[in-house]
Structures are given as structure tokens and as C-alpha cells.
Amino acid sequence: MKYIQFEDGAFEDFTNIIEKDNQASKKLMELIKNVSDSFLSSENSKLIIDSSKIYKEKFSDKDELVYQISDNIIKIISCKGTLMIN
């Protein structure tokens, strides 16, 4: 089974985008679904920290999804393109 986990603040960003920007929210949800279905980074994603398998991908003019893939978890680090690792 695959899981999606949100870092602190990332879920709030996610819900704000869904509430405020219909076009960006569709692209964001499609991107998360595609990553979840394949459990691989999208071909448009950029690997930003190799050892941690952290990727980012733009889904709107100003926003990027930053996520980490490990075992059976996709960890959403940010929906605003900000990298904050605990």
C-alpha cells in the first residue's frame, strides 16, 4: 500500500491552493496522482537532493511541488516550492 504524507505547512498550502486557484489545484492533484500511481518521479521533475530522493516540479507559474519518495511513502514537503526538511 502507498501512502501520502504532508510535512508541517504543506497541507495548509495544499488546501489554500485548492480553495483559491482552480487551474493550479487541478494540476497539483494530477501531479500527486501521477507520482503516486507510478511511485516514481515525473519526467518533468528535477532531483534536488540526490541522497534523499527529493524532487520538485512546477505546477503553476509561481508554485512547485517538492516531494520525497521512499519505500511506500510519498512525503509532500511543500506545495509552494519551499524546501524545509525536519
32 occurs within a structural domain: yes
Q: What would the pLDDT profile of 27-40 be if each residue is shown by its tens digit?
A: 999 988 888 877 66
Average pLDDT value for the chain: 82
With a cut of 70, list the residues of the chain below it in pLDDT: 1, 39-51, 82-86
85 occurs within a structural domain: no
* pLDDT for position 8: 86
72 occurs within a structural domain: yes
Instruction: Say which DSSP state 44 is in.
Output: T
Domain count, the chain: 1
**70-83 as b/e, with b when 16 or more CB fall inside 10 Å?**
eeeebbbbbbbbee
70 occurs within a structural domain: yes
* pLDDT for position 86: 47
39 occurs within a structural domain: yes
Q: Dihedral, CA atoms, 27, 31, 32, 37, nearest 10 degrees?
A: 140
In this structure, what CATH number is given to the domain that contains residue 21?
3.30.2310.20
Which residue segment(s) compose the domain that 10 sits in? 3-78
84 occurs within a structural domain: no
Q: 65 is written with which cell numbers?
A: 511541488
Distance between CA atoms of 5 and 73, rounded to whole angstroms?
7
* pLDDT for position 56: 87
